[in-house]
């Protein structure tokens, strides 16, 4: 089973903290891959919060095609993080020509566009780049979004981290999501690696989503271009999160009601019974059937954790004001924040959504039986 | 053959009949129960004469003739009195001395069951033992990364929805704007399909209704039953139990006078209204209740004279086209109950199903679509319709679901599949397969008749006399002397047995697939079949 770790901190942290946690949770992942999402970035990106950052892997040909493409669109490089790697990658890690992390300035034509329009165009561009890359097998694009960096690679997490020198100052961030893969496919498609990302929403999951096909079919039929190209049954968790929040305009408190609605008798006793009944009916194809622990991150830099309805993968949250970590194993949390009050550790159960907001002051827990916040 | 009997083209021997009576003189007590019970009087007391020649070894004595008379059972060969194979004779025989045996070759009777130019009509089923649904296997077994669930201990949400479900965006908007939200019923995914009051005996109907009420009120299982086209007894219409009933309206509008008049006195709304445009057993043909069964009670409920044939027209005659009929009838029916009751058409499976479905997709009041496949049963139909007309359900429901998925409305118009579900006894497996192909639920009639009331029909043309009111078990008879054989309480008990065991079996299928939180509608990755063409057609895995 894959291992998950996320940390959110007032002070910027090195991604290595996540890798060290991954290392202590090693018995649970097979070292077949690692995925990282960094946001609320420090270092050179601190002063360019609005500049979209493109993260991906390119061949020499790919980068040429990519550069031409971006220049033609009017994107100017604002900052380039060069990851120079030694000639010999770790065992199982393929030799790559280039790991790209590059911040851009928007083209002039984009000036004056609303935030929503920009978000839509960034998404379309990322999808277009993915398609171009798949055609010639020369580029992989993980994200193209302000204040977000994503790195995914095949191989043992710690070895990959050292190989890519992920501890470097430029990559320090206040929110870090990391997943160590337990591979279930022989040929690994990097697009199947967690965390998944769409327009500021990210999530990663352990376990298996048995309801994947009907959920995928439903998302793909929403007519939203980003809900496509599924390589992993866990990617739908990110997209349901995005759908619930952006398309339905519902807050994170509603997410759990979409993926694991209450039983009818509990809905009848709920303060918002009528609303929840309608939500359950109309979002029925989005109901998951775990076992899954989902750790996700929202555009406001909140981090949250939810479980499925009954199987409950392990998952724990602990820390102190200003620093909280989410981990699929207790030892991962212990490695990251050993000096916390462990009596305050929280393991969300089947009704809970545990959220650490952007202020990182506390772990806010809402259960599905709570009254819901008013709709906007 | 008797010496004086003429040899006409339709003169048949016992060997020519589909069912031949095997009778054992040694076991027979001549009690007469078999001849009394035979619903079609195929057997009668026979007086047989037998010559016995006795010859002594002694050459001096002459051989003697002894003529003996003995009594036994004689099978009639007149097509009108042919044995239907119901085996009631065997059921009542104290010594197991008599039983019908299926002919070892294709019978000759079939060439002669059109006396007077009237083709054969019958009740029952298609008489085809093949079942594609039985071939479908559930192959996605949860292992290791996703441990299987415990069918006995985990909670399962085995519920489906009947009603027009809005898209999430539209639903939230209507909540916000306090707009009309179509009624949706949360029901059990196995519906007792339309078998009318008239087709079924009063005892059978009462037993079904009691069983359904018990399941709902004592066991918390929201099981629903369709009335079929024949109205509904006024006492039920005005009771609280009507909420468990789907009222069916069809082209004959039988019973709807009573229903409309009862609306002001209804304590509860019915579960739904089903507009029948077609049925799987006799697609493109109307319902048929033959005169034998139209007694005073049936005539009163249906608002017709006693003792006449009641053929419903093939289509709703008051309307110009099915599209218009669908739109207008859905609207009218919705209006009759103040838009509080889902209204859902039912059609025969056909290669034109998608045209109907696309039409419904654009109709905001359409609450779903029930599709009845060729294996559906009936109380009365022309043999040719049953045997040769219609479309298999599996590919039809799959096409419909995939079509809805393409237009993004797979959750908005629930599809209900019927026709041949459990025809070989595998009710839960067939239902689960159809759900994973895209059905929101299934309807079944024949299985219920067999399991809950002991219907004798089989896929070997056994019995099949539902149409003439002589059902030997009293299930489809309107003759009190026959239907008193059927104890409504026992039927109710069996209904409960059927649903509880179905529920357990369904969980035994869903649990290893890792599904319990919602019904696995459209979970086609779980399905496999060992027929490549079928796999390609259904977009499921080919497994050998």
Count Cβ neighbours within 10 Å for each residue of A225-240 and write b for 16 or more, e otherwise. Answer: ebbeebebbbbbbbbb
> Which residues are B348's β-sheet partners?
B372
Quick one: pLDDT at residue A31?
66
Mutation pick from B411, B435, B515 vs chain A, by most beta carbons of A within 10 Å, is: B411
d(CA B255, CA B262): 11
pLDDT digits (tens, 9 = 90+) for A304-333: 999 988 767 889 999 999 999 999 999 999
Q: Report, as an integer, the average pLDDT of B135-164.
A: 88
pLDDT digits (tens, 9 = 90+) for B317-355: 766 666 777 788 899 999 999 999 999 999 999 999 999
Architecture of domain A3-367: 4-Layer Sandwich (3.60)
Is residue B453 a contact partner of residue B494, using CB atoms and an 8 Å limit? Answer: yes
Average pLDDT in chain B: 93
Residue A238 CA from chain centroid, whole number: 7
Q: What percent of chain B clears pLDDT 70, i.e. is strictly above it?
A: 98
Which of A1, A213, A250 has its CB closest to that of B522?
Answer: A213
Is residue B138 a contact partner of residue B437, using CB atoms and an 8 Å limit? Answer: no
Is residue A239 a contact partner of residue A227, using CB atoms and an 8 Å limit? Answer: yes
d(CA A167, CA A162): 8
Cβ <8 Å between B145 and A207:
yes
Average pLDDT in chain A: 92
CATH number of the domain at B132-542, out of 3.90.950.10, 3.90.740.10, 3.30.1330.100, 3.20.20.70? Answer: 3.20.20.70
Q: Report, as an integer, the average pLDDT of A32-45.
A: 92
B166 — contact with chain A (CB < 8 Å)? yes
pLDDT digits (tens, 9 = 90+) for B441-456: 999 999 999 999 999 9
Q: Does residue B518 register a pLDDT over 60?
A: yes
Nearest to B440 by CA among B254, B78, B189, B219: B189
Radius of gyration of chain B (CA): 26
Window 134-163 of B: residues touching A by CB (8 A cutoff) are 140, 142, 145-147, 149, 154-155, 157, 159, 161
Is residue B230 a contact partner of residue B205, using CB atoms and an 8 Å limit? Answer: no
DSSP H or E segment with residue A23: helix A16-24
Lowest-confidence region among B59-63, B254-258, B502-506: B59-63
Going by their DSSP bridges, the two strands A98-105 and A52-58 should be labelled as antiparallel
Residue B60: count other Cβ atoms within 10 Å of its Cβ. 5
Using a CB-CB distance cutoff of 8 angstroms, which residues of chain B are in contact with residue A233? none
Q: Does residue A290 register a pLDDT over 90?
A: no
Quick one: pLDDT at residue A84?
77
Using a CB-CB distance cutoff of 8 angstroms, which residues of chain B are in contact with residue A285? 410-411, 521-522
Q: Does residue A283 register a pLDDT over 80?
A: yes
Confidence of residue A26 (pLDDT cuts 50, 70, 90): confident
d(CA A58, CA A133): 9
Q: Does residue A32 register a pLDDT over 80?
A: no
Q: Does residue B147 register a pLDDT over 80?
A: no
Shortest Cα distance, chain A CAs vs residue B511, angstroms: 11
d(CA B182, CA A271): 22
- CA quadruple B23, B25, B26, B27: dihedral sign: positive
pLDDT digits (tens, 9 = 90+) for B210-229: 999 999 999 999 999 999 99
Q: What are phi and psi of B417, to 5 degrees?
A: -105, 140
Shortest Cα distance, chain B CAs vs residue A153, angstroms: 22
d(CA B442, CA A238): 33
Provide the ipTM.
0.92
Domain boundaries, chain B: 14-118, 132-542
Shortest Cα distance, chain B CAs vs residue A35, angstroms: 19
Q: Name the H helices within B62-182.
A: 88-92, 132-135, 168-177
Quick one: pLDDT at residue B322?
64
B227 — contact with chain A (CB < 8 Å)? no
Q: What are phi and psi of B536, to 5 degrees?
A: -65, -40
Is residue B536 helix, strand or coil?
A: helix
Give A310-315 contacts, CB < 8 A, sequence gap 24+.
Answer: A310/A350, A310/B149, A310/B154, A310/B155, A310/B516, A310/B517, A311/A207, A311/B146, A311/B147, A311/B149, A312/A349, A312/A350, A313/A1, A313/A206, A313/A207, A314/A347, A315/A4, A315/A347, A315/A348
Q: Report, as an integer, the average pLDDT of A362-370.
A: 95
Is residue B226 a contact partner of residue B194, using CB atoms and an 8 Å limit? Answer: yes
Residue A345 CA from chain centroid, whole number: 23
* Sequence-separated (6 or more) residues with CB below 8 Å from residue A158: A19, A20, A22, A23
Quick one: pLDDT at residue B285?
86
Quick one: pLDDT at residue B287?
82
* Alpha-carbon separation of residue A125 from A38, A92, A299 (angstroms): 20, 31, 19
d(CA B393, CA B434): 9
pLDDT digits (tens, 9 = 90+) for B3-17: 666 788 889 999 999
Quick one: pLDDT at residue A183?
63
Is residue B345 a contact partner of residue B372, using CB atoms and an 8 Å limit? Answer: no
Shortest Cα distance, chain A CAs vs residue B325, angstroms: 28
d(CA B74, CA B92): 17
DSSP H or E segment with residue A10: strand A3-13
Is residue B478 a contact partner of residue B469, using CB atoms and an 8 Å limit? Answer: yes
Confidence of residue B290 (pLDDT cuts 50, 70, 90): confident
Quick one: pLDDT at residue A1?
61
Cα atoms in the Cβ-side hemisphere of radius 13 Å centred on A129: 27
B517 — contact with chain A (CB < 8 Å)? yes
Going by their DSSP bridges, the two strands B369-372 and B415-418 should be labelled as parallel
| Backbone region of residue B419 per phi and psi (left: phi > 0; alpha: psi in -120 to 50; beta: other values) | left
A340 — contact with chain B (CB < 8 Å)? no
> Could you give the angle at the alpha carbon of A113 between the alpha carbons of A107 and A118, nearest 5°?
75
Count Cβ neighbours within 10 Å for each residue of B276-311 and write b for 16 or more, e otherwise. Answer: bbbbbbbbebbbbbbebbbbeebbebbebeeeeebe
Q: Does residue B30 register a pLDDT over 60?
A: yes
d(CA B227, CA A354): 49
Is residue B75 helix, strand or coil?
A: strand
pLDDT digits (tens, 9 = 90+) for B520-533: 999 999 999 999 99
Q: What percent of chain A clears pLDDT 70, i.e. is strictly above it?
A: 96
Nearest to A15 by CA among A136, A153, A135: A153
> Could you give the angle at the alpha carbon of B228 between the alpha carbons of B227 and B234, nearest 5°?
40
Using a CB-CB distance cutoff of 8 angstroms, which residues of chain B are in contact with residue A309? 516-517
Using a CB-CB distance cutoff of 8 angstroms, which residues of chain A are in contact with residue B164? none
Is residue B193 a contact partner of residue B444, using CB atoms and an 8 Å limit? Answer: yes
pLDDT digits (tens, 9 = 90+) for B68-86: 999 999 999 999 999 999 9
Which of B147, B518, B524 has its CB closest to that of A289?
Answer: B518
Quick one: pLDDT at residue A356?
97
Quick one: pLDDT at residue B56?
85
Quick one: pLDDT at residue A121?
96
Residue B95: count other Cβ atoms within 10 Å of its Cβ. 11
Cβ <8 Å between A214 and B520:
yes
pLDDT digits (tens, 9 = 90+) for A165-221: 999 999 999 999 999 876 665 567 888 888 999 999 999 998 888 899 999 999 999
Shortest Cα distance, chain B CAs vs residue A105, angstroms: 34
Shortest Cα distance, chain B CAs vs residue A243, angstroms: 10
Q: What percent of chain A clears pLDDT 90, i.e. is strictly above it?
A: 77
What does the H/E/C string look like for B418-487? ECCCCCCCCHHHHHHHHHHHCCCEEEECHHHHHHHHCCCCECCCECCCHHHCCCCCCCCCCCHHHHCCCC
Is residue B57 a contact partner of residue B67, using CB atoms and an 8 Å limit? Answer: no
Confidence of residue B1 (pLDDT cuts 50, 70, 90): low
Nearest to A9 by CA among A172, A175, A147: A175
* Sequence-separated (6 or more) residues with CB below 8 Å from residue B432: B138, B506, B509, B510, B520
Quick one: pLDDT at residue B142?
85
Architecture of domain B14-118: 2-Layer Sandwich (3.30)
* Alpha-carbon separation of residue A322 from A11, A132, A269, A331 (angstroms): 8, 42, 37, 20
* Sequence-separated (6 or more) residues with CB below 8 Å from residue B246: B191, B194, B224, B225, B226, B227, B270, B271, B272, B273, B274
Q: What does the CA dihedral B519, B523, B529, B533 come to, rounded to 10 degrees?
A: 130
Which of A207, A211, A218 has its CB closest to that of B515?
Answer: A211
């Amino acid at each position: 089973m894959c291992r998950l770790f996320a940390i959110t901190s007032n002070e910027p942290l090195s991604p290595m903290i996540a890798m060290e946690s991954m290392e202590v949770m090693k018995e649970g992942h097979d070292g077949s891959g690692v995925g990282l999402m960094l946001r609320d970035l420090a270092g050179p990106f601190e002063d360019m919060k609005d500049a979209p950052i493109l993260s991906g892997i390119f061949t020499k040909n790919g980068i040429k095609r990519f550069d031409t493409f971006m220049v033609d669109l009017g994107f100017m490089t604002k900052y380039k993080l060069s990851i120079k790697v030694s000639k010999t990658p770790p065992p199982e890690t393929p030799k790559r020509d280039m790991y790209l992390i590059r911040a851009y300035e928007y083209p002039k034509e984009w000036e004056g566009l609303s935030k929503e329009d920009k978000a839509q165009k960034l998404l379309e561009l990322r999808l277009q780049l993915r398609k171009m890359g798949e055609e010639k097998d020369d580029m992989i694009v993980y994200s193209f979004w302000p204040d977000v960096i994503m790195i995914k690679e095949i191989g043992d997490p710690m070895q990959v981290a050292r190989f890519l020198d992920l501890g470097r100052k430029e990559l320090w961030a206040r929110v870090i999501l990391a997943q160590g893969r337990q591979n279930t496919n022989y040929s690994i498609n990097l697009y199947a690696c967690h965390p998944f990302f769409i327009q500021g929403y990210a999530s990663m999951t352990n376990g298996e989503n048995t309801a994947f096909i009907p959920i995928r079919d439903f998302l793909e039929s929403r007519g939203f271009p980003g809900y496509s190209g599924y390589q992993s049954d866990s990617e739908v968790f990110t997209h349901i999160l995005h759908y619930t929040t952006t398309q339905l305009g519902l807050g994170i408190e509603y997410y759990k009601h979409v993926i694991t609605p209450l039983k009818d008798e509990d809905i009848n006793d709920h303060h918002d019974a009528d609303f929840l009944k309608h939500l359950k009916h109309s979002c029925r194809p989005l109901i998951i059937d775990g076992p899954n622990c989902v750790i996700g991150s929202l555009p406001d830099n909140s981090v949250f954790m939810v479980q499925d309805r009954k199987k409950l993968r392990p998952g724990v949250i602990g820390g102190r004001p200003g620093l909280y970590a989410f981990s699929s194993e207790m030892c991962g949390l212990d490695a990251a924040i050993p000096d916390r009050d462990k009596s305050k550790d929280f393991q969300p159960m089947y009704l809970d959504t545990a959220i650490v907001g952007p202020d990182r002051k506390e772990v806010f827990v809402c259960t599905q039986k709570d009254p819901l916040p008013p709709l906007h | 053959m008797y010496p004086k009997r003429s040899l006409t083209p339709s003169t048949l021997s016992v060997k020519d009949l589909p069912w031949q009576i095997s009778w054992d003189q040694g076991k027979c007590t001549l009690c007469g129960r078999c001849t009394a019970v035979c619903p079609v009087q195929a057997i009668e007391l026979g007086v047989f004469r037998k010559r016995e020649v006795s010859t002594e070894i002694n050459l001096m004595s002459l051989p003697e003739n002894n003529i003996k008379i003995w009594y036994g059972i004689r099978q009639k060969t007149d097509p009108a009195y042919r044995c239907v194979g119901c085996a009631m004779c065997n059921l009542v025989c104290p010594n197991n001395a008599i039983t019908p045996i299926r002919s070892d070759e294709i019978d000759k009777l079939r060439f002669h069951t059109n006396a007077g130019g009237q083709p054969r009509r019958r009740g029952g089923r298609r008489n085809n033992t093949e079942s594609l649904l039985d071939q479908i296997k559930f192959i996605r077994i949860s292992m290791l990364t996703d441990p299987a669930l415990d069918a006995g201990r985990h909670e399962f949400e085995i519920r489906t929805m009947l009603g027009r479900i809005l898209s999430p965006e539209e639903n939230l908007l209507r909540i916000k704007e306090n707009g009309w939200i179509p009624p949706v019923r949360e029901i059990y995914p196995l519906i007792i399909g339309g078998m009318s009051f008239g087709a079924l005996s009063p005892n059978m109907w009462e037993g079904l209704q009691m069983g359904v009420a018990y399941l709902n009120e004592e066991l918390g299982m929201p099981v629903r039953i369709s009335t079929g086209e024949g109205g509904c007894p006024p006492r039920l219409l005005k009771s609280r139990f009507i909420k468990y009933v789907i009222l069916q309206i069809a082209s004959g509008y039988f019973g709807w006078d009573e229903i409309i008049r009862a609306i002001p006195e209804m304590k509860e709304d019915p579960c739904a209204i089903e507009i029948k445009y077609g049925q799987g057993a006799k697609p493109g043909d109307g319902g048929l209740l033959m005169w034998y069964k139209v007694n005073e009670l049936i005539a009163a409920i249906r608002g017709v004279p006693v003792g006449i044939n009641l053929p419903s027209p093939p289509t709703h005659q008051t309307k110009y086209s099915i599209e218009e009929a669908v739109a207008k009838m859905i609207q009218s029916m919705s209006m009759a109950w103040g838009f509080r009751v889902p209204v859902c058409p039912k059609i025969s499976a056909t290669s034109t199903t998608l045209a109907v479905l696309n039409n419904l997709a654009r109709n905001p009041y359409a609450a779903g679509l029930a599709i009845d496949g060729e294996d559906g049963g009936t109380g009365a139909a022309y043999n040719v319709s049953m045997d040769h007309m219609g479309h298999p359900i599996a590919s039809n429901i799959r096409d419909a679901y995939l079509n809805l998925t393409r237009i993004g409305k797979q959750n908005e118009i629930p599809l209900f599949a019927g026709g041949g579900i459990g025809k070989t006894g595998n009710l839960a497996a067939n239902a689960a397969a159809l759900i994973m192909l895209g059905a929101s639920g299934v309807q079944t009639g024949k299985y219920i008749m067999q399991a809950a009331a002991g219907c004798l029909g089989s896929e070997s043309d056994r019995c099949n006399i539902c149409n003439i009111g002589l059902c030997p078990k009293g299930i489809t008879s309107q003759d009190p002397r026959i239907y008193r054989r059927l104890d409504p309480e026992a039927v109710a008990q069996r209904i409960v047995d059927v649903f509880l065991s179905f529920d357990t079996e369904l969980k035994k299928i869903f649990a290893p697939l890792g599904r319990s939180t919602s019904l696995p509608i459209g979970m086609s990755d779980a399905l496999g079949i060992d027929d490549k063409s079928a796999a390609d057609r259904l977009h499921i895995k080919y497994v050998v």
